[in-house]
Each structure stands twice: as structure tokens, then as C-alpha cells.
Amino acid sequence: MTTKVAVIGATGKMGQLVSRIVEASDEFELFAQLDSKAELSEMLGADVAVDVTLPAVSQSVVEFAAGHGINVLVGTSGWSGERIAQLELVMAGNPVGGVVIVPNFSIGSILATRFAAIAAPYFDSIEIVEAHQATKVDSPSGTAVRTAELMGEARSSLGPVVAPHVDQRARGEQVSSIPIHSLRMAGLLARQEVILGGTGELLTIKHEILDPNAYEAGILLALRAVRSTRGLVVGLDQVMDLAAPEASPEPESEPVE
């Protein structure tokens, strides 16, 4: 039996990509495609809703879907830690519903963020430069915010990074004390560099999207996960961890006689 999917924000680039993936899959059925003129009630009857709208719209989409018993996959940027905390309280009162928030569907990007979190405790000077196409509305990107938050958690016992002159606008926006610089330019798709500085050395962790098809594997992974999700899951990294098969114990060797 296929899972019926409603795509909200279906006319955008990501919405079109999600729709194509759903249509090409034997596991899912494209139930509805909602644009900016559609009523949210048009998603009723779907098993799963995919929100790829705008930051200003996303929260109302999620609240409507969750309030009507539809699990939601959120691919919209702009979900800050504060907004996620508020949603967590809402979901606590809805034990049968599930929301999965994925700032970035690229598996390579998720791995780059993990590498950055691993490196963060070893460097006191850290900054992020993220670049996206000119049409991207929000900045800094959700991926950059997530990366900074995870690096901040990894450095929680060490305190803030060394970031001089952050009172100047050109020094970027601080998230978890880490300055983030955003570029919005023609000719770009998505790129992020985490630059970590130490005595006599620099470590750069860079990831770049060259083609939107890079998101396909992550979208399918998240779609499969959201069908059975209960509560709130944030990040494709958490989805990957939940989907990873447990390692089976090695069989005990027979004693040598």
C-alpha cells in the first residue's frame, strides 16, 4: 500500500523536486500539490505532508498538518532553536503525531556538519561562510545555523569561540558565538565552508552542491522515516541514525579442542 503525500510549496524548485521523487517511487503516491493560493485543507486525506514553503509560512503549515493527524516532513529553512523548542512543546501534547525537520537533504552536507562538530573542541577560532543562489530568502541558512549550534554544543565546556570585533556588521551574524557570513549570488547553488583556526594552521571543512539531484537520497530517506515518526526529529543526521540497521553481534567462536 502506497503512502499518500501532499506537497506544500509544490511550485518552488524544492517542491518540484519532491513531487518528481514521489511520482517516480513505488512507495509513495502524490496526493496533492499546494501552491501559495491553495487552502491548507487541500492536504486533508494525505498520510504525510511535505512542507517546502517559506520561513514565514512554514509554522502555520506544520501546525495545521499536525493538528489534523498528518505527519509532516519540513524542508523549509528558518527553524531556529527557539521555534523548534516551541514546536516541541506542541508535539508533547500530540503523542501520536510526528514532525521531521530537515534543514538540508544532502547526505554529504550532514557528514560535513558532523566533521565540523568533531573538530570544534580543538579550535578556539571558528567562522562559517555559506553561499546560496540569489533567490534564497533566508540568511543565514538553516544548515549554517544547525552547524553552528552543533559546534557550540560540542564546545559547551569550553565557552564561546574567539571572534573579535563582532560589533561590526561586516563580521556576520553570531550563532552559538560563531560568526556566519552569507552570500546570495547568481551562479551558486549551495556551498558551505567551516573555517577553524589554530596556532600556525587552518582547517577548512567544505561542502558544495553541484546539482539538485544530490538531495534525492536524503529526501527519500526522510520520507520513509516520517511515516512512522512520533514526536519531533530534527536533522537528517538523526534520521540517518534512526534508519541505520543495528550491527548484529558477531557469533561466538567455537572453542578449539
Q: For residue 244, what pLDDT is reported?
A: 61
Nearest in space to 123 (alpha carbons), one of 174, 206, 195, 205 = 195
Q: Write the DSSP assignment of 127-167 as a string of letters.
A: EEEEEEETT--SSS-HHHHHHHHHHHHHTTTT-S---TTTT
Task: Please give the pLDDT value at position 86.
Answer: 87
Q: Which one, of 58, 51, 56, 94, lies nearest residue 75 by Cα?
A: 51
Q: Are residues 123 and 202 in the same domain?
A: yes
Q: Are residues 154 and 231 in the same domain?
A: no
What are the backbone dihedrals phi and psi of residue 4, each rounded to the nearest 5 degrees, phi first? -85, 125
Is 253 among the domain residues?
Answer: no
Q: Which residues of the chain have pLDDT under 50?
A: 247-248, 257
In a shared domain, residues 134 and 194: yes
CATH number, domain of 44, equals 3.40.50.720
Same domain, 52 and 138: no
Closest CA to 125 of 192, 182, 194: 194
Instruction: Please list the residues that pair with 195 across neighbouring strands.
Output: 127, 204
Residue 248 falls inside a structural domain: no
Last residue of a domain, one of 170, 187, 211: 211
From the list 133, 95, 98, 126, the residue with the least C-alpha distance to 210 is 133
Q: Are residues 74 and 147 in the same domain?
A: no
pLDDT of residue 245: 53
Cell numbers for 211: 546539482
- Note down the domain range covering 101: 3-105+213-243
Q: Residue 155 has what pLDDT?
A: 97
Q: Is residue 250 part of a domain?
A: no
> Do 218 and 207 share a structural domain?
no
Residue 255 resides in a domain = no
Domains held by the chain: number: 2
Check whether residue 112 and residue 45 sit in a common domain. no
Q: Is residue 47 situated within a structural domain?
A: yes
Q: Does 37 map to a domain?
A: yes
Per-residue confidence (pLDDT) for residue 248, from 0 to 100: 45
Give the separation between CA 53 and CA 38, rounded to whole angstroms: 12
Can you give the CATH number for the domain in which 170 is found? 3.30.360.10
Report yes or no on 256 lying in a domain.
no
100 and 41 in a common domain: yes
- Asked whether residue 101 falls in the same domain as residue 130, the answer is no
115 and 236, same domain (yes or no): no
Q: In what order do the strands lie in the sheet with 28-34?
A: 28-34, 3-8, 48-51, 71-74, 98-101, 231-234
What is the Cα–Cα distance from 243 to 239, expressed in whole angstroms?
Answer: 6
Q: Which of 68, 62, 66 is nearest to 83 (CA)?
A: 62
Choose among 130, 132, 127: nearest CA to 144. Answer: 130
Q: Which residue has the cell 533566508?
A: 138
Q: Are residues 119 and 38 in the same domain?
A: no
In this structure, the answer to whether residues 172 and 142 fall within a common structural domain is: yes
Active site residues: 132, 136
